[in-house]
Amino acid sequence: MNSSQNAGGAHEKRNITAIVIVAALGYFVDIYDLILFSIVRVPSLKSLGVSGDAILSEGVLLLNMQMTGMLLGGILWGIIGDKKGRISVLFGSIILYSIANIANGMVQTIPMFAAMRFIAGVGLAGELGAGITLVSEVMSKESRGYGTMLVASIGILGAVAAALVGDAFDWRVAFYVGGGMGLLLLILRFGIYESGMYNFMKNVSVKKGAFHELFTDWKRLKKYAKCILIGGPLWYMIGILITFSPEFAKNMGIADPINAGHSVMMCYIGLATGDMASGLISQLLRSRKKTIFIFLTFSAAAIVVYLFFNHFDTFYFYTLCVLLGLGGGYWAIFVTNASEQFGTNLRATVTTTVPNFIRGSVVPMTLAFQFVKTYTGMIYSALIIGAIVIIVAYYALARMDETFGKDLNYMETL
């Protein structure tokens, strides 16, 4: 091997390392902002003159605006990622949500706050999918699980940072911190390059980013739906068991009040640990499916313990929040699996929309939880919804193709 080949290999390794670092830090800032609003919801609304029951209703409005932005943004950024490139999404999404973060810190009215949460949601939707797609395409098929594991496990810690900053500073400052981190991250992004798979595809006459094509072929639609359904238990745990943790604790007879922000932080510590573990396990077992099965089973056990064996002190309660997060730690493998299921011309679209559709599924799950609760009570309502999403996830997983070591250098026939 001559010196030019050595230099080329070293340059490629530096680019891969830079891509993993930038994708991980981008997801860190993404998760920071995604979780920050839940943490500063009450103080921010109170400072804007909202009080009483309106804090809950206005908070739901703002959260729904954010989730609507993420659903629409997931489609938008996914299409852009396949048509214009993964790098363009990494730049565009972080610019949008960084500016929106800063603007969130400046709002003076609820309508303006709602508009900024919508714009932030659109920006937040692109980061993870583009990052995972790019990492999957530049790393070898045998080792890409390590790369996506690092992106997810480091990124998830953004929730911990949001909890700490949200507790320590005024809510406006907390939003400024998020926006500032995003803008600083842009500097690192100027040194990374597009994947070779995408560069080859963009010169080929083939449909790219055709989101509607996911629904025109029954086989393709089933594969896409299975990618989404296996993630249901994770956001059930976050969206219901963790979000409403103070109410669950009260229902269980725990004397000391539970802080929702602390529950979120402990859950995300578990998620970060779980993402690291699931990535390593999938590499050792050489299987995405077996790894997801292990974590789904752990999640099912953790849900039962949380709902029926959780009548002790706050330390025990927060420990169970960590265990719920640990069970949901297959997020990295879940998104990697989606990326590996489809060809280069649809990969960014799928990888970006799948996690955002799962995040959006929190809305129907919480509505169903509230409806069933009127008949069964809080605990059994959560059990029924949890059982449904777990069973559906097992069913989807059983009928999904194994993708470990799959060659991703191919295109979908559309």
Q: Is residue 243 one of the residues assigned to a domain?
A: yes
Contact between 275 and 292 under an 8 Å Cβ cutoff? The reply is: no
Mean pLDDT of 261-269: 88
Residue 302 lies inside a defined structural domain of this protein: yes
Which residues, 6 or more positions from 368, have their beta carbon under 8 angstroms from its beta carbon?
385
> Would residue 362 count as lying in a domain?
yes
Is residue 413 domain-resident?
Answer: no
Give the integer Cα–Cα distance in Å for 358 and 355.
5
- pLDDT tens-digit readout, 12-49: 677 788 888 888 998 899 889 888 887 888 888 889 98
pLDDT tens-digit readout, 106-161? 999 999 999 999 999 999 898 888 889 999 998 888 888 888 889 988 888 898 89
Instruction: Select from 145, 161, 192 the last residue of a domain.
Output: 192
Per-residue pLDDT at 324 exceeds 90:
yes
pLDDT digits (tens, 9 = 90+) for 161-215: 998 898 889 999 999 999 999 888 888 777 788 888 888 888 888 888 889 999 9
Q: Domain containing 294 — which CATH number?
A: 1.20.1250.20
pLDDT of residue 7: 45
List pLDDT tens digits, range 85-110: 888 898 899 899 899 999 999 999 99
How many CB atoms neighbour CB 225 within 10 A?
A: 15
Do residues 28 and 129 share a domain?
yes
3-state DSSP percent of the chain in helix, strand and coil, to 5: 80, 0, 20
Answer yes or no: is 326 within a domain: yes
Same domain, 33 and 121: yes
Region of 377 (left: φ > 0; alpha: ψ -120 to 50; beta: rest) is: left
Q: Please give the pLDDT value at position 325.
A: 95
Same domain, 228 and 176: no
- What are 193's two structure tokens? 């390059």
What local confidence, expressed as pLDDT, does residue 11 receive?
A: 58
Range of the domain at 147: 9-192
Note whether 220 and 186 are same-domain residues: no
Q: Is residue 370 part of a domain?
A: yes
Mean pLDDT, rounded, of the chain: 88
Shared domain for 154 and 266, answered yes or no, is no
Spatial distance between the Cα atoms of 398 and 381, rounded to a whole number of angstroms = 26
Question: Do 175 and 314 belong together in one domain?
Answer: no
Looking at the fold, whether 323 and 225 belong to one and the same domain comes out as: yes
Q: For position 8, what pLDDT does the model report?
A: 46
* 270, 161: one domain: no
Whether 234 and 371 share a structural domain: yes
Residue finishing a domain among 192, 227, 259 = 192
Domain annotation covers residue 184: yes
Q: In the chain, how many domains are there?
A: 2
Q: Backbone phi, then psi, for 89, in 5-degree steps?
A: -70, -40
Domain endpoint, select from 138, 161, 192: 192
In a domain, 78, yes or no: yes
Q: Is the pLDDT of residue 277 over 60?
A: yes
Claim to verify: residue 296 and residue 187 sit in the same structural domain: no
Asked if 249 and 109 sit in the same domain, the reply is no
> For the segment 39-81, what is each residue's pLDDT rounded down to a tens digit?
888 888 889 988 877 877 787 788 788 888 888 999 999 999 9
Give residue 5's pLDDT.
45
State the SS3 of 99-136: HHHHHHCCCCCHHHHHHHHHHHHHHHCCHHHHHHHHHH
Please tell me whether residues 43 and 101 are part of one structural domain.
yes
